[in-house]
Amino acid sequence: MLELYFAHVNTMMNLPEKSDVAIAGGGLLGRLLAWQLLEAGHRVSLYDAGSFTESASAAHTAAGMISPISEAIDTEPLMYDLGLVGLEQWPQWLAQLSVESLPVHYAHQGSLILAHHRDQSLLQQYAHDMKRQLPESAQGQWLDKASINALEPDVADHFQQALFFSQEAHIDNRQLLSALLTRIQQLGGECIANTAVDVSANTIQCLDAGTVKQVDCVLDCRGVGAKVQWNGVRGVRGEIVRVQTDEIRLQRPVRLLHPRYQLYVVPKLNNEFVIGATQIESEDNSPVSVQSALELNSALYTINPAFAEARIVEMTSNLRPALNDNRPQIQYDNGLVKVNGLYRHGYLLAPVVVQHVLDLLQGKTTNSPFNDVLLKPIDVSQKRIASHA
């Protein structure tokens, strides 16, 4: 029964050439999909409740790590398999942008996992979880003090041991978001800012103006903003600090294990560093608390005391969009595709999610091993109730 429905939707979803597509949400997913659909020759309108240049999306706040191994250890092994698609896809996408003179900093330099001497057991546990859950190809490498120093001379001397995941990467997220916006505009995509919308099959409605637009397909990429129309989407609060200093250089993300927090420092352009992130089950989007600021800054300080003289250029909180199982999901029906739940893995999982949405829109029946995990037809019974309401 489900299979029949699945096949049916796939056939119907086959977007004809030069279709009109409306996308709600101009964060990472919205921009990537808008860009790819424009490149494929479709007409795209991209709506955002806020601004495109000063984006309020989680993707703007994020640190931009593409770390399938660390994320899999922290959450579940599935993230490793999904994330590998990301590691493969990002360089290709960025090459495409680079041809258009839109360079985006992407470093495939691995990442370093550290623990203070008294928290060595956490590093052992981390290695144990890695060994047990992940394949041979994902096993990190143990480093001693000298090797840590050779890789990252600016990491403080008191770290005796580290794990190194050479496959992992990181991306300058803000440079990417801005490059995508430029490219979307170059390709004639219409970007409509400060416009909250409601989505339904083939229809997008601007809430303030009350105007309704009919299109061939609507994509809902609003993250936490989709909550009103997707029961089950929740926000998970995260807080970050962004500092700037010329005294310290890091080539790669450094994660610090601690009994209660997971902290990381990710180098950005212009000698900036993002330190994150708290993870609080709350949809409170108020400014960073003193407690979190203390935790984040003291972690930074222990990685190198010279960070004490860095300048805090930003402290922000935001909400990660998540579903109950903290996995991404693509819900689809004729004329409507809803994508959500990338949680704390936005840059890691965007490629695999975008690929699946594009395949779905093209009516491709693929043998992707992730179809079962990612794709969910919008429940028929739920739809019936909604239409009678």
Which residues make up the interface to another protein (CB under 8 A)?
74-76, 129, 132-133, 227, 232-234, 237, 259-260, 280-284, 286, 289, 291-292, 322, 324-327
Looking at the Cβ atoms of 115 and 360, the one nearer to another protein is: 115
Cβ burial, residue 335 (10 Å; 0-12/13-18/19+): middle
Looking at the Cβ atoms of 317 and 355, the one nearer to another protein is: 317
The one-letter amino acid at 348: L
Q: Least CB distance from residue 279 to another protein, whole Å?
A: 10
Distance CA 48, CA 26 (A): 5
- Token output for 88: 């493969």
Looking at the Cβ atoms of 107 and 280, the one nearer to another protein is: 280
Looking at the Cβ atoms of 39 and 284, the one nearer to another protein is: 284
Angle of the 78-99 helix axis to the 173-186 helix axis, nearest 10: 50
- Taking every pair of Cα atoms in the chain, the longest distance, rounded to a whole number of angstroms, is 68
Q: Least CB distance from residue 87 to another protein, whole Å?
A: 21
Looking at the Cβ atoms of 269 and 294, the one nearer to another protein is: 294
Looking at the Cβ atoms of 152 and 295, the one nearer to another protein is: 295
Distance CA 355, CA 317 (A): 29
Edge to edge, what strands does the sheet with 161-165 contain? 141-144, 161-165, 111-115, 254-257, 262-268, 272-276, 234-244, 311-322
**H-state helical runs in the chain:** 2-12, 28-39, 58-61, 68-74, 78-99, 120-133, 145-151, 173-186, 290-303, 346-361, 371-374, 380-388
Q: Least CB distance from residue 290 to another protein, whole Å?
A: 10
- Token output for 339: 């994508």
Looking at the Cβ atoms of 26 and 341, the one nearer to another protein is: 341
Q: Least CB distance from residue 233 to another protein, whole Å?
A: 8
